[in-house]
Amino acid sequence: GVRVRAPMLAIHTVAAGGGSVLGFDGARLRVGPESAGADPGPACYRRGGPLTVTDANVLLGRVQPEYFPAVFGPGGDESLDNEVVRERFARLAADVTGSTGTATTAEQVAAGFLRVAVANMANAIKKISVQRGRDVTEYVLTTFGGAGGQHACAVAEALGISRILVPPLAGVLSACGLALADTVAIRERALDIELDEAALAPIADLAAALEADARAQLADEGIEAGRVRVAHRVHLRYEGVDTSLAVVRGPADAMRAEFEAAYQRQFSFLMPGRPIIAESVTVEATGLAEPLDLPEPGGAGLVPLAEVPMYCADRWQRAPLYRREDARPGDSADGPAILVEDGATTVVEPGWRATVTGHGHLRLDRVAARVARAEVGTAGMAGDPAGTAVDPVMLEIFGNLFMAIAEQMGVRLQATAHSVNIKERLDFSCAVFDADGGLVANAPHIPVHLGSMGEAIRQVIARRGGTMRPGEVYALNDPYHGGTHLPDITVVTPVFGQADAGPGDETTPDRDTAGEVLFYVAARGHHAEIGGLTPGSMSPFSRTIEEEGVMFDNWMLVAGGRFRETETRRLLTSARYPSRDPGANIADLRAQVAACETGVRELRAMVGHFGLD
């Protein structure tokens, strides 16, 4: 029962690195999770390794062996093996052609693998941004590692990001970071008092004591007081809720406003009138590291060393190759282009421009309008985008994308729920359905829920017909109309199209879908209490459905964007055997609405990015 908060860095990893193994299972192109590692490494390393993402970049000219360190082979003095890469991809293309019946080249297969890898990386970034209420399109994508720059533009495209920053020494940034990290002392102590004007004094006293302790630790480590920076934060939460958010210590009104803005951003709703609790105070004292003395950028200027073939935008193009060390501040290069350096390679895609900043950073900006993503990864299938021909690249991409949306809904539900049942036992399920109520994707939640959720959606469609409107959300647990048992309440939100349903940057949308339901999203949660003869709503003595608890029969939970709390509370308390804890029911229903809203936003973004076809 004791909560321990320890300072740590959350790192989300994804199996889509340069060593991720490529494979074809007869239907789909697969990237990872197996890795070739450093030994034997990719096929091009001359150690008999499997085909990997690095090999795809070699085949497509994004990595040029003659400008790559010659450290391979038995003597450690040979360049990358381009020939074995071509042979292996040619055999793989023959397998894809034989299985799909569509003529496919080695380049198209390699490009398809890269698109799958990029989709995996983009979904991983969404897990640490969108799931936390952040609009990733407003951020700059920073890339590092030897291969990060090879995929940066494509990942940014998938996320709707328009600017990328490639710092100096990008290929060894982790090593530099370890050597140059600040020294940090963190002190935290529980407080647990209501946030008001009277709370400011004990908060300030506690912060002062914690700061003195943290500064003493840094002094013991030889860090001068002038190099120490201190930040005070207060962890706030709503009374009765165990999720706290950190805000900067300040006046009570300012802390309350910052907390509510963060809570709205993360959970999609507020709880007006509910007291806010100052749970704890944190002080972070940072001993600043000595700055890295990098040489001032100022080479002879970006002049192409050569023009090399590079496969991009589904065709071979000639791309200038530059050496980054030659760059001066203000120099620029339009894509397609390749910039090589000792520890990394950066690929500038068509429609992007690389500019050298005054600090020697490489800034990549999207300078051309984005185009529709209706193209497919293998030639010959683009003429039948909505027919029976299945492109193995897009099949894998959309499979991952729909699954990621359902998983994001589950994360939002767990974060916002009130009950132990949903928040800790994880007795819930989230899924995406098509316009007819057919299951599209379900996150790996509770299997018994998912088998019957489709019937719940179809019941809503059948009984609501053409009366559904944007801003409406429905709830049901009626076993005779799509429910299972009464504690399992399903919240359903229709996803309506919009007037600009086509790709976001196109001037002409696919069609006007305003008022048309494109998808349904649903979140089913097991409520700890829903009334009935006995607590838990599963009495062995019940003979009628009313004796098991309160029944939601296609209930209008949200109308016109307003959560119908008063009406729903009346339903919960006016039944023959009412709920014993309607407040908990309301809290969990709010969380289910928030989870569905996450699905709505993500599906609309997907339609806007890819188009309806």
CA atoms within 13 A on the CB side of 205: 6
Residue 171 CA to residue 168 CA, distance in Å, equals 8
Residue type present at position 314: D
Q: Can you name the residues that pair with 497 across neighbouring β-strands?
A: 514
Cα–Cα distance for residue pair 376/59, rounded to 1 Å: 19
HSE-up (13 A, CA, CB side) for residue 410: 22
Q: In what order do the strands lie in the sheet with 315-323?
A: 306-312, 315-323, 337-340, 345-348
pLDDT, tens digit, 9 for 90 and up, residues 23-71:
888 878 888 888 888 888 888 898 888 999 999 999 999 888 888 888 8
pLDDT of 277: 93
**Contact predicate 553/517, CB 8 Å:** no
Pairing of strands 488-496, 306-312: unpaired
Residue 172 phi/psi, 5-degree rounding, is -125, 30
Is it the case that residue 500 has pLDDT exceeding 80? no
**Separate counts of helices (H) and strands (E) for the chain:** 12, 22
How do beta strands 163-166 and 141-142 pair? parallel
Write the CB contacts of 78 (distance below 8 Å, at least 6 apart in sequence): 46, 70, 72
Residue type at position 427: D
Helices 148-159, 106-127: axis angle to 10 degrees equals 70
Rounded Cα distance, 426 and 445, in Å = 8
| Residues contacting residue 567 through CB under 8 Å, at least 6 positions apart | none
CB 106 within 8 A of CB 89: yes
State the alpha helices, DSSP H only, in 184-319. 200-220, 252-267
Q: How many CA atoms lie within 13 A of 334 on its CB side?
A: 3
Give the confidence band of 269 by pLDDT, cuts at 50, 70, 90.
Answer: low
Spatial contact of 407 and 136, defined as CB atoms under 8 Å apart: no
Q: What is the pLDDT of residue 374?
A: 42
Q: Are 433 and 440 in contact (CB under 8 A)?
A: yes
Residue with the two structure tokens 């293309």: 93
Alpha-carbon span 598 to 592, nearest angstrom: 10
pLDDT tens digits for range 376-390: 333 333 344 444 556
Q: What is the mean pLDDT of the chain?
A: 84
Task: Give CA–CA dist 381/108, Å, rounded.
Answer: 12
Quickly tell me which residue has 């994360």 as its tokens.
411
Residue 165 has a CB neighbour count (10 Å cut-off) of 16
Q: Name the region of 536 (left: φ>0; alpha: ψ -120 to 50; beta: rest).
A: left
Residue 574: pLDDT above 70? yes
Could you report the per-residue pLDDT of 501-540, keeping only the tens digit for each? 444 443 344 556 667 899 999 999 999 888 888 887 677 8
R_g over Cα of the chain: 28
Interatomic CA distance for residues 46 and 49, integer angstroms: 7
> How many CB atoms sit inside 10 A of residue 510's CB?
18
Q: Which residue has the higher pLDDT, 269 or 509?
A: 269
Q: Give yes or no for residue 96 having a pLDDT over 80.
A: yes
- Name the residue with tokens 């299985």: 99
Q: Which of 507, 162, 509, 503 is nearest to 351 (CA)?
A: 162
pLDDT band at 360; cut points 50, 70, 90: confident
Once rounded to an integer, what is the mean pLDDT over residues 470-490? Answer: 90
Q: What is the DSSP string of 471-509?
A: T-EEEE--GGGT-SSTTEEEEEEEEEB-TT-S-TT-SS-
* Other Cβ atoms within 10 Å of 609 Cβ, number: 18
Answer yes or no: are the C-beta atoms of 147 and 17 closer than 8 Å. yes
Structure token pair of residue 500: 């600009």
Q: Among 67, 164, 137, which residue's Cα sits nearest to residue 361?
A: 164
Q: Per-residue pLDDT averaged across 450-472, rounded? A: 87
Contact between 331 and 301 (Cβ < 8 Å): yes
The Cα–Cα gap between 107 and 236 comes to 54
Q: 321: which residues sit within 8 A by CB, 6+ positions away?
A: 64, 67, 304, 305, 306, 307, 308, 337, 338, 339, 340
Question: Hey, how many other C-beta atoms are within 10 angstroms of the C-beta on 210?
Answer: 22
In the structure encoding, which two tokens stand for residue 95, read together?
């397998």
CA 46 to chain centroid, in Å, comes to 36
> Is residue 589 within 8 Å of 268, Cβ to Cβ?
no
Which distant-in-sequence residues (6+ apart) come within 8 Å of 175 by Cβ?
A: none
Question: What pLDDT, on a 0 to 100 scale, did the predictor assign at position 433?
Answer: 94
**What's the average model confidence in pLDDT over 9-21?**
78
pLDDT-derived band at 495, boundaries 50, 70, 90: very high
Cα 348 to Cα 367: distance, rounded to the nearest angstrom: 12
- Paired strand residues for 31: 22
Amino acid at 559: A
